[in-house]
Amino acid sequence: MMERLQKVIAHAGITSRRKAEEYILAGRVKVNGQVVKELGVKVGKHDTVEVDQVPIYQEEYGYYLLYKPKGVISAVADDKGRKVVTDLLPMVKERIYPVGRLDYDTSGILLLTNDGDFAQRLTHPKHEVDKVYVAKVKGIATKSALNPLTKGIKIEGKKTAPAKYAILSVDPHTNHSIVELTIHEGRNHQVKNMLQAVGLPVQKLKREKYGELTLQGLRPGEYRELNKKEISQLLNQSK
């Protein structure tokens, strides 16, 4: 796969993409021994790229689906020494990072990659990839309580996009319900805040679906690599 030279330089961790463009224009970059001063040049993994006479390593892109368990931080490092999601993928050599996040006490699907364009595409507000959550809530879930979510509600002064819901079960004896909520936004604590706003505080939360991806075949803490078809589906859904 051919990619723009500035993206390859940025992906190698040399500098930002914008700075890489400046390096190219300044004549500091060579491709296969030849100085390149044009921004439109594309290179493949077999091309040799040098920045200031130093060859860069072109890391392969990796795309992974993790069944994140509760009690793990959606980050690559934590200053408090807590377990982070990349600790669960010790065999992965690429410098991957999570696409978006799941709260510390939330489980379910989390994608990880080292492809910045892919991650940005999936997390940008204008792209609409459905994410399905199942929540155990305190209280009796009713259509009248949940219907406002289908039109959007204000949270911290900003209206949410319309959501879909399904009431999976209700237990009057324990005063608990199981609710499925489908959203495509990714604000912090969004599902918890939405259900709290309609009087159904979340006690347990799991993300069960991301686009067409599910947790089938995985147990908490396990992961698998995405195939080309799944990657293409996600990119098509995020157009």
Which residues are designated catalytic? 103
Q: How would you classify the pairing of strands 202-210 and 106-113? A: parallel
CA dist 224 → 68, 183, 189, 201 (Å): 12, 24, 26, 32
Give CA angle at 235 (230, 237), nearest 5°.
Answer: 95
Q: Where are the alpha helices (DSSP H) in the chain?
A: 5-11, 17-25, 116-123, 143-146, 190-197, 228-237
**What is the token pair recorded at 26?**
């300044």
Query: Kind and range of the H or E element at 83?
Result: none
Nearest-CA neighbor of 101 among 73, 67, 120, 121? 73
Q: Are the beta carbons of 75 and 83 closer than 8 angstroms?
A: no
Separation CA 91–CA 93 (nearest Å): 6
Separation CA 95–CA 62 (nearest Å): 9
